[in-house]
Structure 1
Amino acid sequence: MSYTMRDVAKKAGVSVATVSRIMNGKGEASPETIAKVKKVIEQLNYKPNLLAKRLSERKSNLIALLVPTLNNPFFPELVREIEKEANKNGYQIYLCNSDDQREKVEYYLDSMVNHYVSGAIINSLHVDENDLSILEERGIRTITIDRANFDHSYSAITVNHKAGAQSAVNHLIQDNHCRDIVFISGPRDEKSAIDRLLGYKMALEQVEFPIQTKVVYGDFETESGYQLIQKLLMDGEKFDGIFSSNDAMAIGAIRACYEFGIQIPEQVKIVGYDNINMTSYLHPRLSTVDQCKEEIGALAIKELINLFNNRSEKPNHYELKPKLIIRESSR
């Protein structure tokens, strides 16, 4: 009978990630746990999937890219940047759109193995360290981008959304003297949305004069930004500034303001987040926070190629700082 790493983990009472780390000599476990895992490996006569490793050594030119949605304009633009960088280096992208569903994530994780991809770029809330460990066991090098809700021992790129949000809110308060600000947050359980909310609160904590604030929660899509601001206006709420957790919701908010005859930026200043392409063609052009699509694309491919070429290379963690782009919507 052929056993897998999952079988070892189950019998030893630990996670697949722990087994993977111990087998790769990375430690990060107690001596007792290491001894127990090694004993189970010996009992089951477990051997890593050598066929998968041999296949990975063929250096397939396919890199899987798992994204949460294509409805948010940011992600198609991110895909384009990653694909452009991959093509420059002789690799093709296998695009996997999960629609933020665990069932689809599992399908694509299996599909990555079946397609013999060399590497996987993961941007999903529904992937855990066990998933990454299984891919790595099969010779698929991995790097996560931004949305992972957990710390892990593989390569990762994160964006400092707290700093990005803080700069946007500081701009509304300090540069534009906004005193009644609405923050359109993303989903309550989404890591980047949580970080942007924390950045918003950090900016408010530094202010020594009273600021009226309202936090409403959307889903990162244009319609939710439109409906949230429309409801506030229908309820008679007054505000002079809006910070949106992404550009798509900011565009919906702008539409709602115009329908109520509110002029931007004369009556309400608005700042979005993402710096998607269309923001520079709106009227007025939307101020936003650029979260480094080009840099993410270049860095993700560079890191994977480095991992392909140096199998013993230790994974790296990178943190990027977003940049505030000031345009007419907040001048």
Structure 2
Amino acid sequence: MHIVVVLALDKVIPFDLATPIEVFSRVPGERYEVRVCAPSATVDTGTFTLQARWGLEALLDADTIILPGCADTAMVVPDNVLDHLRKAAAGGARIASICTGTFIFAATGLLDGLRATTHWIAADALAARHPEITVDPDVLYVDNGQFLTSAGAAAGLDLCLHLIRRDHGSAVAADAARLSVMPLEREGGQAQFIVPSQPPAPRGSALEPLLRWMQENTDVDVTLADLAARGGMSVRTLNRRFREQTGSTPLQWLLRARIRRAQHLLEAGDEPVEVIAGRVGFGSPTAFRDRFKRVVGTSPQSYRATFRRR
């Protein structure tokens, strides 16, 4: 029997905690035994308390350890928790984190030199706190073999199903996915959930009227010279001010504005992708699809299927 141990610390996110319990417990054939352990008998989630049946010693018996996220990413992980996780890893246990559980994982030092992910909203904080980790905010999960990390919320389901597929093959994983009412594989990564940012120019700056015009006229075919003339400055000055005030180039900023406009159109209406490509200023549907996938992480059709407002 494969033993899966889920670690529950104070302020654990209930969804992250429940996901591995439900997914592994529902695998046909009773292939997994799921245990919940904690440093103390009572765990305060912030909305309710729970009683953990196992202590930290359960980590040393685990074949797989799951680290759910906690609401406070700045929390100091107790030394005895870190010690048990390191010992479990040295003994060959597979360790996987869900959402901000990557912060707990990172505190062990086991992810140093590896690629990892977490919820996109916390990715910058993880990268700043642990520069020795290569943080990828665009993917649903990262598999480094013994050590795995996943993005937020539903990505924990993707990770658990991936682990089942690794252990028992696609047929068993597909059965578990059906019981979880989930596709075995989802197209795209976290990027499709991240709104492309448009850094604004300071209010009252020379760029503010130009940026507003660019946002309202994404369908207009313009060149750098056109934008510079509209802004009343040289191309060189335009580039310099964009770098200073938005951290981007004029054309990069415009492309992201076009993609954001396309997302709105895909969410709100039924126009064909080819029509939307023209409405947001792309000369060909192919160029639009390529740029959209590069920025959003999935195709326009898949994005519409996921986010269209009914």
TM-score, normalised to structure 2, is 0.29
Q: Which has the higher contact order (CA 8 A, sep 6+)?
A: 1
- What TM-score do the two structures reach when normalised by structure 1? 0.27
Task: Report which of the two has the higher share of strand.
Answer: 1
